[in-house]
Amino acid sequence: MNYQDVLSKIYEEIKPFANEGQQATYIPALASVNPNQFGICIEPLDDSPVSSFGAADVRFSMQSISKVFMLAACLSLEGDNLWKRMGKEPSGTAFNSLVQLEFEKGKPRNPFINAGALVMSDILISRMKDVEQTFLNFVREISGSHVDYNRVVAQSEEEQAYLNTAIANLLKYHGNIENKIDDVLHFYILCCSIEMNCCELAHAFRPFADHRHPFCFAGISLTTSQVKRINAIMQTCGFYDEAGEFSYLVGLPGKSGVGGGIAAIHPSQYSVAVWSPRLNSKGNSVMGLKALELLTTETEESIF
């Protein structure tokens, strides 16, 4: 498969969507990002070269994509005990819903909504020594690059974290946060601020697609079965309350973030990352979604 030609063709077809949507404005640092950018990168698992197009070397804030790495770390440390504190079901509501969390008595529906990520942050603070550096070391090793937190973005988000603070307080009330709320919020927001470009992100997701080799990075180890289960959660819960639509149109496990990035995998075939800051009403990249839909259409490759 000549992915480079496919990517060029995809870009020509998605140009009409270039001005649809807008970047996340509730995080001031993201609101200032130039929205007229698009990048994509595919990393095949065979000996084929990595293919990229557009602004694939421009770093962006991962935001909720970082929850996949948090889940990998928590599952490595906690095993199935993790599911005592959160579920595995699609939410069907917004990623920052308080209503669902209150109704379900402080047990987040899945790891990829904000409540689930806050519980994962609490676990990592409890289980990791020097959690900020230890988690960063893991992300650096899996991405093969010297990525870092963007503390300007983190501070910008922290200053507006009213709803996440409410979620954290509700979790604390129900006994599902053990550490100080401020510490949990700070680490969660810091994780979301990690910046990667499309090529770094595609490389970081490669181990989730490659079930032939052990998953072990900076002391975070997963069995093949655990990796496949993370893929299943990405398939059903990776796109907020638009996960069903993504599964229907694209047919790949993946995760999106309000920074405009999307990472996805085709098991045993490739990992792919796409970035474009303009979001739809669900918080997913307009051009990113369309690009991945066309990718699986053009290649006639999906998990189904």
Among 248, 249, 253, 247, smallest CA distance to 266 is for 253
What three-state secondary structure class fits 254? strand
For 87, the 3-state DSSP assignment is coil
Encoded amino acid at 50, one letter: V
Structure tokens at 150: 């963007």
The structure tokens 């640092």 sit at: 29
Tell me if 42 sits within 8 A of 7, measured CB to CB: yes
Q: Is 212 exposed, middle or buried (0-12, 13-18, 19+ CB in 10 A)?
A: exposed
Instruction: Give the span between the Cα atoms of 272 and 199, in whole angstroms.
Output: 8
**Pairing between strand 254-256 and 220-222?**
unpaired
Read off the tokens for 143.
């991405």
Q: Which residues are marked as active site? A: 64, 67, 188, 240, 258
